[in-house]
Structure 1
């Protein structure tokens, strides 16, 4: 994305701020979903104390009543910014189906990485199908927020004047 902007030689303050916000969001997303990575082997002292031993997969649907409010709200808003930024930076994600597909696959990737990290004792997260559902539903909020801003500010009008190029 940065290479694409460098080729265009067109940097506006708005574009730079959006890119900085997007990169900060990606950093926070990785920090929340994948880190810390645990670096002790299975026979080490911390592992013998019970650290690193957890479930790998939760395939039970609809356990939302057991979720804490923080967990429920956090999963709902986790991918909303990604959905919003995807629609801003790439015109193909301004269609609901494309955006929803990208968000579902992003959530599936995050949960799969958590599972892989657990298998190799590098993480303390679980693969949870409810997280995938909540993340995908929450991404709809980001898409709706983009559509609302689009109606209020006319983002679509400015993007069509650039003849289909992916510009915010």
Structure 2
């Protein structure tokens, strides 16, 4: 009887291994977008030369980059993936290392753990970081070059933004 159990156990294991292997190699729905040392390829969340990336990251719904401009100031470059809505504005860094930007009463705080969007004391969204990079970090994917670095100038509330970049278009069927 024990040899029968051993055969059943091996059969069950043999059936389970391909399923586990499939899970291990199946791409995640939230896999990191292509990036290099300046941010995400073909995205607003990318620092255009001569600016350099301080940090950049992505959540299920957003991509963000904090760039150091040539004059030393910080710039927040963020995009909401589902509809390509973007924000480019000045940023600052707090003593605890968090980066913040604000526009029209809404604050955007970027840490290695999350993007937190709030209005005053009310948190609108708290999006866990799924992919986060610092310059020179070994966790960054291998460098990829891109001919396009995204928009090179900051938008103001009165300046219309160009249409979303290819990597920032929402899910199929949305406009």
* Greater relative CO, 1 or 2 (CA 8 Å, sep 6+): 1
TM score, norm. by length of structure 1 = 0.23
Larger Rg: 2
- Higher fraction of helix: 1
TM score, norm. by length of structure 2 = 0.22
- Higher fraction of strand: 2
